[in-house]
Amino acid sequence: MAEEKEMVNIYIMGKHYKVPYGLTIMKAMEYAGYRFIRGCGCRGGFCGACGTVYRKPGDFRLKVGLACQTVVEDGMYLTQIPFYPANKATYNLEELTPTLGTLLQYYPEMTRCLGCNSCTRICPQELSVMDYIAAAQRGDIEKAANMSFDCIMCGLCASRCPAEIVQYNVAILARRLYGRHIAPRAQHLAKRVEEIKAGKFDEEISRLMKMDRAELQKLYDARDIEP
Amino acid sequence: MYTQEMLEAIKIVEKTRERRLKETFPRLKPEEKEQLLRSFHPDYMPDAMRPVKVGPNKGEKMPHEHVDLLESRSMLDPDHFSLEKIDYDVDVLVIGGGGAGTSAALLAQEEGADVLLVTKLRHGDANTMMAEGGIQAADKENDSPAIHYLDVMGGGGFHNIPELVAALVMDAPLCIQWLESLGCMFSKFPDGTMNTIHGGGTSRKRMHFAHDYSGAEIMRTLRDEARNRGIKVIEFSPAVELIMDEHGQCAGAVLYNLETEQYLVVRSKTVIIATGGSGRLHIAGSPTTNHYGATADGLVMAYRAGAKLIFLDATQFHPTGVAFPEQIVGQLVTEKVRGLGAQLVNADGEQFIYPLETRDAVSSAIIRECKERKKGIATPSGMYGVWLDSPMIEILHGKGTIEKELPAMFRQYKRFNINMAEQPILIYPTLHYQNGGILINDRAETSIPNLYVAGEASGGVHGRNRLMGNSLLDIIVFGRRAGKNAAQRAKSVQLGRLTLDHVKRFHEELQKEGLGQKVAPILLPDYRGKIS
């Protein structure tokens, strides 16, 4: 297979390898002989383990991508950044109030943002990172929560921030504040939990548990299905 | 970017779309479903399985890939490995840092236990993180745990263990409420009502979701909470063997630090296995949706200690894995795409299955369409797939719905220059879930004293086929139960001398059968020098 494919030259941490054209960076590194311990997680773009930075010859710009979702290009100089030391505040969510003061109490460095937009430019999810930090600075927790929702916490934003903000940790605090203290609770859920605790469904469930396969199959086939 | 041939094939799908929008493909009758599964589901393919020759399930058929591991020897030499120096001494050891393990750790700590969570990769590297579609719970007026129960049993082919299903459906609303209180951002209407939709095999719209990052949202919330509460976590240090005591109780585990290559001994009054599934064994040579570490470690360890496995011969293939582009073949396309109205369409532009049949049935129908009826669409690499007509969603629910409701899917395809809001996507079944696992009861206990299991590593609750949205539910329900019960139990446990005699005995059994050449758990798949 490999022989028939067009090959490209890549440089993993400066070291030259020839790999088949069309592979993702992750698969290309494995083809080159790497067996990942760090820098590889879900392999599907959800976990943020495989943040990778690279440059192409003759281009001063630093580029970025998830190794599992980015295709190798000829001449790529690349390295993964699987871990970056980050300041993570610890808090008791239940006791917090969803205010600007809370965000500032745990992440005062948030106000040091220089507006350079490096975080937004590096985000492999193409989130407007600087803008959600701006929303957080205004105390607009709902906006910060929603704008940061697709964050996979890969940490690349924090690695580039000259103000040393850990954007993704600010973001998860905003999201949890929103989810717990701002978004209205589901009333039907609370009601159902009370009904279950009161034993409303116990009898029906234990009746079903005693049924044999034929009885269950009959009930199953006769189910009315919500359109 | 689609090839010219594929763009031509898409025109056929576009031509029939308007007519299909008004068509509902008939659901399968029970006997049709049975026939379809027997003829086309990978579980029924000859040569896919063989009987395991050793251990508690001796003589039972399982996929070769599982049998290979169960017939392997330990990484440790039980005659010479010393358990004398104890590196960690705790009340509850949780093995696995996904959704089940983290839920278990949180609940165990709430019960006052000294908890240690160990995990092979990073905390949160797990299939939980990749679950897109949602989590089931019967919390709406027209729904009830009993209706949920019936859906689960029917989906599992009525093989499910009743007490486990009862636990699953009765705990479901409590678990959603717990997640809500932890700040999980479920998709809600302005008044707080949960936005819920159908999944394959559901009779009520009870799929709760957080866009299509449902599992990621749950995982990062639980992980953040664990960090806030100061739960001890050791990353990159998988357990490789359970430790027993002289009275036959589970008493800890040996860890292997992947980075320093050193072993560590953990003594623990109770142990919870939450090591997840086994997609990275690539059963039947299939690509998989699973994360990098899904290699059945927990099954291997528990089996050696004498725990019984159940339904390992039932493997779930998710109907809609990526068939094109090649770079991401096998990755998940969430069932929510069908939940929002996209139909499955063959090369003639026609439907061939009701899109929300249970996963085993839909997968079988796609395989039939490609292999027997030759109505699949070829990719440049020689694979076949069928269309998932995603643009229908934009017609049914308005322009922009895909980007808003399926941001992960939209992004996944956009990275390869395919706009799924305008063009259908090509899919084929992919290895997704281990329906079976280590047999547990409704307290998440195994047959081994002080050993608990939760999540995908366990077996019984889903029978032979899990429904969408019941895996995220399973990990929370049984993670919580395992954590609470293990912590309470730990209060009265008295441990004796630690031993690896069970490994010694297992090695003897292997030797009698001429087995044990390979070593397991394998911990990570090996793709070196290959195109995976």
Catalytic residue among B267, B318, B481, B507: B318
Average pLDDT score over residue span A120-149: 97
Instruction: Tell me the percentage of chain B whose pLDDT exceeds 70.
Output: 100
Going from the C-alpha of A136 to that of each of A116, A143, B500, the distances in angstroms are 16, 8, 54
Alpha-carbon distance of A186 to A184, in angstroms, equals: 7
The one-letter code for the residue type at B365 is A
CA distance B126 to chain A (A): 7
B524:A27 CB<8 A = no
Token digits of residue B216: 């990621």
pLDDT for the residue numbered B456: 98
The contacts of residue B50 (CB under 8 Å, 6+ apart) are B61, B62, B64, B67
pLDDT at A1 over 60: no
The predicted-structure confidence for B184-208, as pLDDT tens digits, reads as follows 999 999 999 999 999 999 999 999 9
CA distance A98 to chain B (A): 11
pLDDT at A3 over 60: no
Going from the C-alpha of B40 to that of each of A138, B44, B365, B435, the distances in angstroms are 58, 7, 7, 18
Token digits of residue B375: 């109505």
Alpha-carbon distance of B1 to B389, in angstroms, equals: 16
pLDDT for the residue numbered A4: 57
Quick one: which of B415, B420, B125, B528 has its CA closest to A65?
B415
The predicted-structure confidence for A48-91, as pLDDT tens digits, reads as follows 999 999 999 899 999 999 999 999 999 999 999 989 899 999 99
Beta bridge partners of A76: A10
Find chain A residues with C-beta within 8 A of B321's C-beta: none
Find chain B residues with C-beta within 8 A of A188's C-beta: 139-141, 193-194
For an interface test with A, the pick among B202, B207, B327, B333 (most A C-beta atoms closer than 10 Å) comes out as B327
CA-based nearest residue in chain A for residue B341: A227
Find chain B residues with C-beta within 8 A of A204's C-beta: 144-146
Alpha-carbon distance of B95 to B276, in angstroms, equals: 10
pLDDT for the residue numbered A2: 40
Find chain B residues with C-beta within 8 A of A184's C-beta: 188, 190-192
B220:A172 CB<8 A = yes
For an interface test with A, the pick among B152, B195, B220, B414 (most A C-beta atoms closer than 10 Å) comes out as B220
Find chain A residues with C-beta within 8 A of B181's C-beta: 94, 180
CA-based nearest residue in chain A for residue B237: A37
B153:A216 CB<8 A = yes
Nearest CB neighbour to B531, from listed A31, A125, A201: A31
A180:B183 CB<8 A = yes
CA-based nearest residue in chain A for residue B405: A150
A216:B415 CB<8 A = no
CA-based nearest residue in chain A for residue B224: A172
Count how many Cα atoms sit within 13 Å of the Cα of residue A33 in the half-sphere of its side chain: 5
Quick one: which of B16, B217, B223, B192 has its CA closest to B123?
B223
CA-based nearest residue in chain A for residue B210: A149
Beta bridge partners of B207: B136, B197
Ranges of CATH 1.10.1060.10 domains, chain A: 93-182
Helix, strand or coil for residue B474? helix
Ranges of CATH 3.10.20.30 domains, chain A: 2-80
Nearest CB neighbour to B528, from listed A35, A70, A226: A35
Rg (CA), chain A: 25
pLDDT for the residue numbered A16: 98
CA-based nearest residue in chain B for residue A216: B150
B204:A226 CB<8 A = yes
Catalytic residue among B338, B432, B462, B481: B338
Q: How many CB pairs under 8 A join A and B?
A: 232
CA-based nearest residue in chain B for residue A177: B183
Going from the C-alpha of B285 to that of each of A28, A99, B234, B340, the distances in angstroms are 20, 52, 32, 31
CA distance A163 to chain B (A): 23
Find chain A residues with C-beta within 8 A of B147's C-beta: 223
Could you tell me the fold of the domain covering A2-80?
Ubiquitin-like (UB roll) (3.10.20)
Find chain B residues with C-beta within 8 A of A142's C-beta: none
Residue whose entry in the numeric block shows the structure tokens 């094939």? B9
Alpha-carbon distance of A215 to A220, in angstroms, equals: 9
Alpha-carbon distance of B487 to B491, in angstroms, equals: 7
Alpha-carbon distance of B394 to B140, in angstroms, equals: 27
Q: From the options 1.10.357.10, 1.10.1060.10, 3.30.360.10, 1.10.8.60, give the CATH code of A93-182.
A: 1.10.1060.10
Find chain A residues with C-beta within 8 A of B529's C-beta: 30-31, 33
Please state, as a whole number, how many other Cβ atoms lie within 10 Å of the Cβ of residue B109. 21
CA distance A117 to chain B (A): 21
CA distance A57 to chain B (A): 23
What is the dihedral angle through the alpha carbons of B475, B478, B479, B484, rounded to the nearest 10 degrees? Answer: 160
For B258, counting Cβ atoms within 10 Å of its Cβ (0-12 exposed, 13-18 middle, 19+ buried), the class is: middle
Quick one: which of B163, B58, B101, B62 has its CA closest to B453?
B101
Alpha-carbon distance of B155 to A220, in angstroms, equals: 10
CA-based nearest residue in chain A for residue B259: A37
Average pLDDT score over residue span A128-140: 98
A44:B292 CB<8 A = no
A208:B146 CB<8 A = yes
Residue B41 falls in the annotated catalytic set: no
The predicted-structure confidence for A11-42, as pLDDT tens digits, reads as follows 999 999 999 999 999 999 999 999 999 999 99
The predicted-structure confidence for A105-130, as pLDDT tens digits, reads as follows 999 999 999 999 999 999 999 999 99
For an interface test with A, the pick among B28, B129, B143, B329 (most A C-beta atoms closer than 10 Å) comes out as B129
pLDDT for the residue numbered A153: 96
DSSP H helical ranges for chain A: 25-31, 100-106, 118-122, 129-137, 141-147, 156-160, 167-177, 187-197, 202-210, 213-221
Long-range contacts of B377-380 (CB under 8 A, 24+ apart): B377/B6, B377/B9, B377/B347, B377/B426, B378/B5, B379/B6, B379/B323, B379/B324, B379/B326, B379/B426, B380/B3, B380/B324, B380/B326
B203:A30 CB<8 A = no
- How large is the ipTM? 0.97
Residue B211 falls in the annotated catalytic set: no
Find chain A residues with C-beta within 8 A of B182's C-beta: 93, 176, 179-180
pLDDT for the residue numbered B1: 87
Find chain A residues with C-beta within 8 A of B258's C-beta: 37
Token digits of residue B25: 């493909």
For an interface test with B, the pick among A27, A37, A47 (most B C-beta atoms closer than 10 Å) comes out as A47
CA distance A158 to chain B (A): 17
A172:B326 CB<8 A = no
Alpha-carbon distance of B199 to B473, in angstroms, equals: 14
- What DSSP state is assigned to residue B74? P
Find chain A residues with C-beta within 8 A of B225's C-beta: 93
B140:A47 CB<8 A = no
Residue whose entry in the numeric block shows the structure tokens 């899109």? B355
Query: Contact, A110 vs A138, CB < 8 A?
Result: no
Mean predicted lDDT score pLDDT of chain B = 97
Mean pLDDT by 10 residues, chain B (532 residues): 95 98 95 96 92 98 97 97 98 98 98 98 97 96 98 97 98 98 98 96 97 96 98 98 98 98 98 98 94 98 98 96 94 94 97 96 97 96 95 97 95 95 98 97 98 98 97 98 98 98 98 97 96 82
